[in-house]
Amino acid sequence: MKARRVTGLDPDETLAANAQRVVLVRLDELCGFVPRALDPAEVATLHDMRIAAKRLRYVLELTAPVCFAPYAAKAAKRAKALQDLLGEIHDCDVALPRVLALLEELRSGAALELRARAGDAEDLDPALVGDLPHGDAWRGLETLAVYLQARRALLFERFLTTWAELERKRFRERLETSLSQPDDGRDPATGVSSEPIT
């Protein structure tokens, strides 16, 4: 996913002013994936949302301690938790198709083997299935596929709960408010004066 362009950055402005522009774009980018990301079938959207959460997290981790009110640091932690959760979902989304493809490959090989064992018979004797090679691998892969599917469903439910909680606690509004700078140019979290970027 390509990051949205941040416009209006000015080297003559303070770090806080420029960081605020970046954070607002990254926050809008993250929140823009809802409501599509609330659909479990939106695999690519969830992955892109994870990347957006990572970008927001990194800019907040770098700038929150020196530029913004204390909630911005808390928002960085929330963005990290969201990124981690979406990463776990993505791991399932990547692994499950690989497991299923390997399972299909084993099935196809086994079917060819069974057909060869049948020889010129008019029908396939079910007893021939009993000692097929890779039987343990099939069971293991089937079990792994079921595990990944169930884990993904559980993690997605956690994601829905997490996002609902972020909305209930007004994550976006509180972060936007924490980006405001006091009139005297001092950081509300540290009281340190924000100097222009040179």
pLDDT digits (tens, 9 = 90+) for 13-25: 999 999 999 999 9
149/172 Cα distance (integer angstroms): 31
Among candidate residues 39, 151, 11, the one with its CA nearest the CA of residue 91: 151
Q: Read off the pTM.
A: 0.83
- Please report which confidence band the pLDDT of residue 163 belongs to, taking 50, 70 and 90 as the band edges: very high
Segment 35-41 shows an average pLDDT of 98
pLDDT at 186 (0 to 100): 47
Distance CA 42, CA 89 (A): 11
Between CA 152 and CA 100 the distance in angstroms is 15
Q: What is the mean predicted confidence (pLDDT) over 148-176?
A: 98
